Structure 1
Amino acid sequence: MLLTTKSKALSFGILASLFFASTFVLNRIMAVSGGGWQWSSALRFVWMLPILLLIVIIRGNLKQLLIEMKRNLGQWLLWSTLGFGIFYALLTFGASYGPSWLVAGTFEFTIIAGMFIGHFMQRKENRQPFSKATLFFSCIIFLGILVMQISEAKSTPLSTILLGTIPVLIAAIAYPVGNRKMMALTKGSLDTYQRTLGMTLASMPFWIILMFFGYQEHGLPDESQLLQTLLIALFSGVIATLLFFKGTELVQHDHKGLAAVEATQAMEVIFTLIGEIIILQTAFPNNLAISGILLVVIGMYLHSKNH
């Protein structure tokens, strides 16, 4: 049976969420072992750069990318810094203050954020009102996030909860804004590899500044942090990002389809929870936390079925 374009896009999204989940688990491992969050953030993109550069050069598409970037350099710098830089720095910072499943669960706010951002990025005359079902399913996801936070608040100081939650919520908004703005800017003229490389290149000034602060606070990263950030770069930065961007590109002219692909990222919570229990041998979340996780996943599933 042949897959429809939307089914392919959703499959890419779910597969991407599996590889994205490695980010949350590995970032938590580095945070627990005392690795500076600045290095954890920046090194992922430093590792990604030569890998993606090699892919684009082999495919013979580097010159076209550089011409595109030169044409709108300011826009590339702005949206790449937001969509890659601000997004990932805040996500890694949040990993210092909570278990990886909680960070992953909170990040699913990106599903709701992406839907509203896509809506308001459309021309007024093309905007369609949100269906009651879409808003209801988004509320289920948001309720799930709140329930998870409440479960964690029982054993964690409020200041720690806020430090682990607010940056992740901002990251959840920054990622779809950067992604959608870059799609609008390039208008399909670049392939997934080119766009990912271009955004990695354009976010480099941000990462260089962050590495300077990381050196001031923690010195140079150790071997384990170098290895773990390399794994994140491969699994999440290259494989997951390319899969996710491919999925969003397949349905880029269908804002409901885009919302459904973004909704597949709720699967990250399940994959992250399994990974944390197996690798970090952490305790299984309490019943309240599991209820929150299930609400997020159910909301994601209903979103994808509705679209």
Structure 2
Amino acid sequence: MSRLLALGLVAAALFSVTFILNRAISLGGGPWQWSAALRYGDMALLLGGWLMVRRGPAYLAVVVRAFVHRLGFWLCTGGVGFGVFYAGCCYAADHAPGWVVAATWQITILLSPLVLRGFGLRVPLRGIVFLLVAFVGIVLINGQRLGDGIGLEQLLHGVVPVVIAAVAYPVGNQLLNRARHRGGPEAALLADPATAVLLPTLGALPFFALLLIATMPPPPTPDQIASTAVVALFAGCLATALFLYARNLSAEPYRIAAVDATQAGEVGFALLGETLLLGEPLPGLVGWLGLAAVTAGLTGFALGRK
């Protein structure tokens, strides 16, 4: 379990790049639609190029055939797990500070067990208790800033899309987990972390194409193109591959929920990054107590399993 949590926390640190840079892009005037679409376009190129170099053209052809063979499944998995998820996060970043988005995103640590139950899996009660402890920590971290006052419009535009994203992400991930553990040639392909990210990434591209067509945003700025490439590499390729690798190491609900819970660490990493790069102040005493609660929740996951 400790290995799974360690991998998840490293992924959380890399994921935090998303919240910091997306907010910086928004402050620079870059359209949120391009932040979403460019990331997954870059990811498809980076992952496809990596597999071409590491595994060869023949292997990449096998991956493409697997994608076409179950096109509907990958369009659903990628469209929901990557498309709806990241469009919601980017939209929110255009309307709220990065810490609001990162804090609200942590509701996924509570929704993940509910999603698992929807797939017919049960998470032990003690696991949900530890999730609640971690979530209380997230509330404490941001409690003082939330107390400063957020308008209704900012709340709706900065929070609701992230709540939707927090449901979509574990749904897509669990669809992928089921495909990984049901056996067969596709399951063998998904044992490769880069392949496991590439297949749903390809499935998400039509979603983002439709988003751009429907909203017709202005062209992306040069800084936005460069920043989304950084997000694609660190959060999209490295963090997602590491997170899904840790998540797919087991089909046991408790272990899956434990890996999902490591995403709580993103708030601490995002706060630190925003402090250093965007001038956000460090949390006060209540915030540090919140970080301690997050640590306690994750430690409970690691030590509470019998």
1:287 Cα deviation after fit:
5.1
2:270 to 269, 272, 279: 272
1:57 to 52, 61, 64: 52
CA contact (8 A) 1:105 1:293 kept: no
For the aligned residue pairs, the C-alpha RMSD in angstroms reads 2.1
Aligned residue in 2 for 1:139? 132
CA contact (8 A) 1:109 1:141 kept: no
1:146 Cα deviation after fit:
4.7
Q: Please, which moves more after superposition, 28-37 or 104-113?
A: 104-113
1:41 to 36, 43, 49: 36
Q: What's the TM-score, normalizing by structure 1?
A: 0.88
- Aligned partner of residue 86 in structure 2, secondary structure: helix
CA contact (8 A) 2:16 2:270 kept: yes
Instruction: Measure, in 2, the Cα distance between the counterparts of 1:235 and 1:305.
Output: 30
Letter in 2 for 1:206: F
2:168 to 160, 164, 174: 174
Q: Please, which moves more after superposition, 144-153 or 56-65?
A: 144-153
Q: Please, which moves more after superposition, 290-299 or 269-278?
A: 290-299
Aligned residue in 1 for 2:102? 104
Aligned residue in 1 for 2:184? none
1:128 Cα deviation after fit:
4.6
1:46 Cα deviation after fit:
1.1
Aligned residue in 1 for 2:150? 156
Instruction: Measure, in 2, the Cα distance between the counterparts of 1:288 and 1:41.
Output: 33
Aligned residue in 2 for 1:3? none
Residue by residue, what CA displacement relative to the aligned partner does 1:250-298 show, whole Å, maximum 9, x if unpaired? Answer: 22x2211111111111111111100000000123345555555554443
1:32 to 27, 35, 59: 27
Aligned residue in 1 for 2:205? 204
1:306 Cα deviation after fit:
2.3
Q: Please, which moves more after superposition, 205-214 or 242-251?
A: 205-214
1:156 Cα deviation after fit:
1.9
Q: Please, which moves more after superposition, 150-159 or 140-149?
A: 140-149
Q: Residues 295, 164 of structure 1: CA spacing in aligned structure 2 closer, same or farther, 3 A cutoff?
A: farther
Residue by residue, what CA displacement relative to the aligned partner does 1:12-65 show, whole Å, maximum 9, x if unpaired? Answer: 111111110100000010111221111111111111111101122221322222
Instruction: Measure, in 2, the Cα distance between the counterparts of 1:165 and 1:184.
Output: 29
Q: Please, which moves more after superposition, 259-268 or 185-194?
A: 185-194
Letter in 2 for 1:228: S
CA contact (8 A) 1:18 1:267 kept: yes
Aligned residue in 2 for 1:247? 246
- Aligned partner of residue 189 in structure 1, secondary structure: helix
Q: Please, which moves more after superposition, 268-277 or 294-303?
A: 294-303
Letter in 2 for 1:77: L
Q: What's the TM-score, normalizing by structure 2?
A: 0.88
Instruction: Measure, in 2, the Cα distance between the counterparts of 1:137 and 1:149.
Output: 20
Letter in 2 for 1:139: L
CA contact (8 A) 2:193 2:244 kept: yes
* 1:90 and 2:91 correspond: no
Question: Would you say how many aligned residue pairs link Structure 1 and Structure 2?
Answer: 294
Instruction: Measure, in 2, the Cα distance between the counterparts of 1:164 and 1:289.
Output: 21
Query: Which ranges of structure 1 fall in alignment gaps of 5 or more residues?
Result: 1-5
CA contact (8 A) 2:138 2:267 kept: no
Letter in 2 for 1:170: I
Q: Please, which moves more after superposition, 24-33 or 57-66?
A: 57-66
Aligned residue in 2 for 1:299? 297
1:153 Cα deviation after fit:
4.9
Q: Please, which moves more after superposition, 101-110 or 77-86?
A: 101-110
CA contact (8 A) 2:113 2:123 kept: no
Query: Which ranges of structure 2 fall in alignment gaps of 5 or more residues?
Result: 182-186
1:152 Cα deviation after fit:
1.7
- Aligned partner of residue 188 in structure 2, secondary structure: coil
1:145 Cα deviation after fit:
4.5
Instruction: Measure, in 2, the Cα distance between the counterparts of 1:43 and 1:129.
Output: 36
Letter in 2 for 1:200: T
